[in-house]
Amino acid sequence: MKKFIFIIQGILQIYVGLGALVCGILMMADPSGGILKMPLSLIEASPFHNYLIPGLILFAVNGLGQLFAGVLSLRKHAWSGLVSAVFGLGLMIWIFVQVTLIGGGHILQNLYFGFGTAETAMAFLMHVFLTAAKKPRPV
């Protein structure tokens, strides 16, 4: 069961990370949102005038960050639980801010918020597994 949690977590993080890298690159390549068919009217109420900065944040945090967390998870690194919690919460914050600024209702927002919730829950399990392995057993 322990090994399964680390593998599922790593696969989920790499999946999220790769998608965020691609979307982040496309948003930076065409800040008007044309490539992704996202009109600028979506971000009228936000502090952004185009998709360049959101694309950069998506690429760096949810892209590179999730990939980094995924590698740590698959390697069962001592910090994998903590790093997974940070990026799982980061994904939930990203979706929360997105829904707050541009509105909700898209199935992908619900799906990715669920991914962030699952990542965070598994991160706590991973942390418990990793810290339990360090404790000396009574004789």
Query: Tokens representing 46?
Result: 């936000």
Dihedral pair phi/psi, residue 93, rounded to 5°: -65, -40
- pLDDT at position 139 is 66
Could you read off the pLDDT of 104-117 as tens digits, one per residue?
A: 888 999 999 999 99
- pLDDT bin (cut points 50, 70, 90) of residue 17 is very high
SS3 readout for 96-136: HHHHHHHCCCCHHHHHHHHHHHHHHHHHHHHHHHHHHHHCC
The tens digit of pLDDT for each residue in 121-131 reads: 999 999 999 99
C-beta separation of 43 from 52 below 8 A? no
Work out the angle between the directed axes of helices 2-29 and 66-74 (0-180°, nearest 10). Answer: 160
Residues in the chain: 139
CA–CA distance, 91 with 75 (Å, rounded to integer):
21
33 pLDDT higher than 90: yes
Mean pLDDT of 65-80: 97
- Assign 23 to helix, strand or coil: helix
Q: 13 — alpha (psi -120 to 50), left (phi > 0) or beta? A: alpha
Q: pLDDT of 48-59, one tens digit each?
A: 999 999 999 999
d(CA 108, CA 91): 12
**pTM listed for this prediction:** 0.89
Which pLDDT does position 137 carry in this prediction?
A: 65
Output the pLDDT for position 34.
Answer: 95
Q: How far apart are CA 33 and CA 44, in angstroms?
A: 13
Residue 103 has pLDDT above 90, yes or no: no
Instruction: Mean pLDDT check: name the lowest of 6-10, 84-88, 101-105.
Output: 101-105
